[in-house]
Amino acid sequence: MKVRRDPRKKIMPRQEVAKIVHKMQSEGKTVVFTNGCFDVLHIGHIRILEHARSLGDCLAVGLNSDTSVRHLKGGSRPIIPQNERAEMLAALECVDFVSIFEEWTPDEIIDEIRPDIHVKGGDYTPETLTETAILKKYGGKLVIMPLIEGRSTTLFLEKVARGAAVCKIEASELEAVKEKAIAVIPARMASTRLPNKPLLDICGKPMIQWVYERANSAESVREVLVATPDKEIIDAVEAFGGKAIYTSPEHRSGTDRLAEVAAILPEDALIINVQGDEPLIDPRAIDELAAGLFSSGAVMASLMRKLDENDDPDDPNLVKVVTDFRGYALYFSRSRIPYPRSQGSEVYGHIGIYGFRRDFLMQFARTPMSSLEKSESLEQLRAIENGYGIRMIETSFKPISVDTMEDLERVREALKCTATRN
């Protein structure tokens, strides 16, 4: 009868693992090492671990500690504490040893264990790995697995987070949120870069209609309003059956226009500011924002997304944001933040969709511009500089704002239509 080894006995400090594997190597055995956060163990991890084990006589796994994961992945992770993650890894038959390490990279643990083979997932290259130099120093071999499409932990967690947010509303809070949440779309004709922007034709409909209809498709809002100083926009909105409110032409920003509308709304209203130049706005992003604002109790909320390879983090037109461990914004900037002194710092872009509690919105609109706001030309910094928290909700939605004719053509292409140019 085969006696099953207690998985917890596989979890050891790196010094003990190093002694064991060095002895195995002296006996001519091949030691394989891989590492990761493993904050949600999924089939992609299993495939990598099984393949890694097949390359040698034993597999040692380095596990990023909770502190290390938070540094690499942000304050919302890890989902599962390090000791539980270690025990789950150890329970796998293909894993022989597990060692938790605190550093942000596995350089030190690799240098101590000195495995014959180091295995990484397919989203890495030798040039992007700091451990490449360590392996080269003592003659270790690097093996990069073929990319397993769709098995990214980050993408998986984003899907779970989006689903959880919407399901959470649907299951227990949808009616409560829907009683309070009102989407307001500020719009005006006097755009400096693209005149008459809200009424530009996209597939036979004015842009404002696309924004309105998508906002109206959100499950979390009870009503959609367009706030505008222009009769042409009011006529267009009423023509397709929408509701528009006339606001003063003296307002300096869309937020001021929003506050004027807020004055006639219920005191407990949650106001979702949807930009009038985003005809491809995803209704689920609105739901995510409404859910986050409602459940957090924050006075203000907004969205952010992790930048991808197509984004330039140094582009001043792409606003960046950093948050604390609770998910509240620490700072917004047109400069790259955080500064990439060490490898692994994620950069998040801000998506200019806001949620406000009604009373705060009216107070915010009366607050004088702050020095940081003037310096960066970012209105949301006024809230931070005055001590108010902005709850940031991570999303996968990547907006296409229409500021130029090129942007308009991109949207038309995305909707696969030929439109009349106005």
Where residue 408 falls among pLDDT bands split at 50, 70, 90? confident
- Interatomic CA distance for residues 261 and 227, integer angstroms: 7
The topology under which CATH files domain 7-149 is: Rossmann fold (3.40.50)
Write the pLDDT tens digit of every residue in 320-346. 999 988 889 999 999 999 988 766 678
Instruction: Write out pLDDT tens, residues 306-315.
Output: 998 888 999 9
Do the beta carbons of residue 98 and residue 61 sit within 8 Å?
yes
Highest mean pLDDT among 38-52, 192-206, 366-380 belongs to 366-380
What CATH number does the domain located at 154-414 have? 3.90.550.10
- Average pLDDT along the chain: 86
The residue to which tokens 């990279």 are assigned: 105
- pLDDT reported for residue 129: 81
Q: What is the side-by-side order of every strand in the sheet holding 31-36?
A: 97-101, 58-64, 31-36, 117-120, 141-144
| Per-domain residue ranges of the chain | 7-149, 154-414
Amino acid sitting at position 260: E
Judged against a pLDDT cut of 90, whether residue 166 lies above it is answered with no
pLDDT tens readout for residues 81-136: 999 999 999 999 999 999 999 988 899 999 999 999 999 876 667 877 888 899 99
| CB crowding 290-302: b at 16 or more within 10 Å, else e | bbbbbbbebbbbb
The predicted structure's pLDDT at residue 382: 94
SS3 (DSSP) at 375: helix
